[in-house]
A = this chain, B = another copy of it.
Amino acid sequence: MSRSGKRTVNSRILGQHLGLTDAQVRRDLSIFGQFGQRGVGYPVSGLTQAIREILGTDRSWDVILVGLGNLGRALCGYRGFSQQSFRLVGVFDNDPKKVGTTISGQKVFSLSDLEKIIQEKSVQLAILAVPAEAAQEVADRLEKAGICGILNFAPINLRSATQNAAVVNVDMALELQRLAFAVVNATTNS
């Protein structure tokens, strides 16, 4: 909307783009503050900035990536991560053949240097793309080293050992199962 020169936007239009009702948009925003003007709507730039502050994307975050299998290598080159508020500052693997090489412009570090580099660079977030068997162990190390947020792609439900780190789980194979369920259910209910 900013790009197309819109100055204000209302809850109905926001809802259309988000798949929500206008009431839901207003209610949800009102939880964080008053960002609109009655009779007018929400200022596009003001609301954008307010949402950035709410999400924490008004500041810059340093991110490391652990695990360079098929998925990890892809995430490494994915611009959706590197752009905006997130900066990839290190990638790790325990395969000696990969350590020292460069993947998508990133020098690959050994997993044994994990703690050292996290502390040197004061890294805050980690993307975890190791096999399920190794995920919990690596997560524990990340947390001990001072990481405060883990985006977990391993197909396992991570527990936060110390509660010092937030965990967000993404399981792509599970999403495909969700889709299969949605299809089966749609045909069943019609």
Contacts and interface: CB of A to CB of B under 8 A. Distances in A.
Interface of A: 17-19, 54-57, 61, 63, 70-71, 73-75, 77-81, 83-86, 124-125, 127, 148-151, 155, 157, 166-168, 170, 172-173, 175-187
Contacts of A150: 179
A179 B81 CA distance: 12
Count of this chain's copies in the oligomeric assembly:
2
A56 B180 CA distance: 6
Contact of A17 (B157, B168, B173, B175): B157
Nearest to A127: B176
Nearest to A53: B184
Contacts of A127: 176
A178 B51 CA distance: 12
A155 B78 CA distance: 13
A150 B78 CA distance: 21
B179 A125 contact: yes
Contact of A55 (B81, B85, B86, B180): B180
Contact of A175 (B70, B151, B176, B182): B151
B70 A78 contact: yes
Nearest to A80: B173
Contact of A170 (B19, B84, B85, B175): B175
A184 B81 contact: no
A151 to B, nearest CB: 5
Nearest to A188: B56
Contacts of A74: 70-71, 73-75, 78
